[in-house]
Amino acid sequence: MDCLFCSILEGAIPSQKVYEDENVYAFRDINPQAPVHVLVIPKEHIPSADAVSAVNSGKVAAVFEAIPKIAKECGLEQGYRVITNVGEHGCQSVKHLHFHVLGGKQLSEKMD
Ligand code: AMP
């Protein structure tokens, strides 16, 4: 399967690692939209939030257990935003479930 984030996990494509555990990997977005912009992914290939089920939701829970640790490590004590894009209308460009963690400044109230 040709997946950019699986290639990053394999080390075939370099990334700026922020966090890693048994189930989760986090790295700096190559095109940051905020002073802190980290992508947090499950190591298991899940195509998007639309593919989460009882079979793989434990891997998603592991991502959310990691996010507070990543936020602390990145100095986001004043808050942050967690976003996942899904499909064409959601502007998902990489088909491996990932959560954008954005912060380091006052973010806009606008969500779209
Ligand atoms: P999305 O549009 O929600 O699918 O988000 C994909 C994100 O992956 C975008 O914010 C890209 O900037 C980011 N991205 C693409 N290629 C890389 C890469 N090689 N390393 C880090 N981030 C990347």
* Annotation: CATH topology of 4-100: HIT family, subunit A (3.30.428)
Residue 6 CA to ligand 1 center (angstroms) comes to 12
- Summarised one tens digit per residue, pLDDT across range 18-67 is 999 999 999 999 999 999 999 999 999 999 999 999 999 999 999 999 99
pLDDT at residue 17, rounded to an integer: 98
Interatomic CA distance for residues 44 and 49, integer angstroms: 13
Quote the pTM value: 0.98
The secondary structure element, H or E, covering residue 72 is helix 57-73
Which atom of ligand 1 is nearest to 93's Cα? 4
Q: Is 19 helix (H, G, I), strand (E, B) or coil?
A: strand
- Which of these is catalytic: 45, 96, 98, 100? 98
State the sign of the Cα–Cα–Cα–Cα dihedral 103, 105, 108, 112.
Answer: negative
Q: What is the DSSP letter of 39?
A: E
Count of residues for the chain? 112
98 as an active site residue: the answer is yes
